Amino acid sequence: MEKKAIIIGASTGIGRELAKVLSSEGYIVGLAARREELLRELQQELPNPSVVQAMDVADTEQARERLNALLAEMGDVELIVLNAGIGIRNPDWEQQYRLLMINAVGFAALAELAMSYFTQRGGGRLAGISSVMALKGVGRFEAYSASKAFISTYMQGLRQKSRKLKLNITVTDVKPGFVATPMTEHNENMFWVAPADKAARQIYRAIQKRRSHVYITRRWRLVGWIMKAIPDWLFTRLPV
């Protein structure tokens, strides 16, 4: 039986590398992102068949229509990965608005559709890329932190819903630390920076094990514990 997966946000970074991992593991992969030319380039690198669909997650109506079209074209998809997202340091309001439309509203629009699809299918796997920064509101990245916290909380709700209603849908919250991608290439003071291909392999293993959440790479679990333990009065004084 053919294995099929869709990655939203497959043109660069983690999504691109995860597409390579899934294809090498025998998946037919649906590739979705705003820049179709990058998806076509990726398509030529994959060892197994793939399907390309241009999609702007900021336009939620269009994104839902395009995901529905991709699901109909591929048929019987067992895994959907929601990876589309942007991060901007010190954004103005217009930039914050676009960030929140993509990272939060766009995520919810596609996650809800994915859950409906898997419910009708009788099960499936949904993975969403949040961030270690979801654990605290980080200055200069407050909108990004808030959007990633939204993703984590939304997925927690979906996970509880799946269990309560016995939907047989696994929901995996992926919390990366620093990963070498185009979005992080200008960030300062990064540490424990993981290559995107290493991050992708760990994400794949977590999905296959039906994990509810995972830190990427695994050492960031320690950072997560520390961030959760730091009281607000101390965190607001840290030089971040």
Q: Which residues are catalytic?
A: 144
Query: Which two structure tokens, joined as six digits, stand for 72?
Result: 């109909």
Residues 6+ apart with CB under 8 A from 108: 150, 154
Q: Do residues 50 and 26 make contact, with C-beta atoms less than 8 angstroms apart? A: no
Q: Which has the closest alpha carbon to 53: 17, 16, 21, 7?
A: 7
CA distance 117 to 126: 11
Helix axis angle, 107-121 relative to 60-74, nearest 10°? 30
What is the C-alpha R_g of the chain? 17
Q: DSSP 3-state assignment of 170?
A: strand
Please answer whether residues 220 and 176 qualify as being in contact, where contact means their C-beta atoms are separated by less than 8 angstroms. yes
Specify whether the CB–CB gap between 106 and 63 falls below 8 A: yes
